[in-house]
Structure 1
Amino acid sequence: MASFGELAKQETPAPTTEAPKAEEDKAVEEESTATFEPVVKLEEVEVTSGEEDEDIVFQIRAKLFLFGETMLDKGTGNKTWRERGVGDVKILKHKEFGKIRLLMRQDKTMKVITNHVIDPRIKLEPNAGSDRSWVWSAFDFSDGELVETVFAMRFGDSEKAGKFKAAFEDAQKHMEKELAGEDTADTTAGDEAADALANLSTKKEGEEEPKKEGGEE
């Protein structure tokens, strides 16, 4: 029987085989060729901007500001100028009805930041201390409801600001004629209706008025 010392001297035999590999031959994954059908199929929807029926009369780059309360000052009456966004401002004329409006969308998001009819009564005033910006007020519809809003629009230079003012005032002249035409049409229609009523008779031609019974006068 071998003693403890003799056993200690015996070397542990080295393993004669390597540890089994984790199935190297199967390690390479096969490329998946499976196809998956979506649970819900979405149909393509044509996206419209609302400008399809309008012609661009004038277009220029600008930065828009609004004068009013901020979200933090809501209801306090504290008003200040705040930037609304940068983008292309357009003067658009409807192809059928001839109405002209001012439209501006914010870059990247394409959010409408001003949308109002170019009313002949609007006055573009120069912003204090600047020859390249204009201030005016109008009933804006950019958020889905008419809100009286004070705008300031700044352009790259005074020349561009002048071109915008000229195009805006030309649009106002056109709108003034459009509105005058509507008033004339309404007046003419009213006169024709009044004449038609005046020519009406309560009896047919050759027919006597009905006599009152009992000799009543």
Structure 2
Amino acid sequence: MKTEDIPAYSIPRLEQIAKLLLEERWLGLTIPIDIDYIVEQEPDTILDYLPGLRAVHGVAGAVISHPQEARFTILVDKEVADGNLSFYRFTVAEEFAHLKLHRKVLETVTSVEEVIQLHEWERYHEIDRNAKWLASALLIPPAPVLEDAHRLYPEMVRRVGFANPEAVKAYVIDRLSRKYLVSPPTMRYRLQHWPVDVLKKIDTAMREELDFLE
């Protein structure tokens, strides 16, 4: 791989890409986001399932190029697809994000074996980090999750008061992860960082004994 093959993306740019994709393919922004439906709208791309992908090759998902047909397949392990829904959804979102962000790199990946080689590349962590961020931004858009957090926080502090911010944050994370159909760690990470930053807002509100989030 050549360094110039890797496009650079800032966090604001990744958020913008997610916003534009959702505006184009998921009108109304209803939650949970139907990531399969969004992927199905990608031109010259199919979503398919492969038994043993994770057990044999150690990956839950992959993007395979078919250069002679000018198309891609997003592959997901069959057992993952039939198992934990939040893990499946994030796997689909992450592989789709790779395709949107790193198409030029993926055009050279024509087999699962070449997927493994890509994962072993010394700079893979860079493209993986960007794909994970875009996947999170697609599954957990800022506007609705902020609205939901502002609604849940007062409900919780009325029950437990202001003495235990960790319990309040855990409650908000659990409720939101269930609604958005993502794992609690994925939701926690999203709520910790810009452009959401909800956990910091909760800490501030509880320290000041406010029954609302600013």
Normalising by structure 1, what TM-score?
Answer: 0.22
Relative contact order (C-alpha < 8 Å, sep 6+): which is higher?
Answer: 2
Structure ranking higher in helix proportion: 2
Normalising by structure 2, what TM-score?
Answer: 0.23
- Which structure would you say has the larger Rg? 1
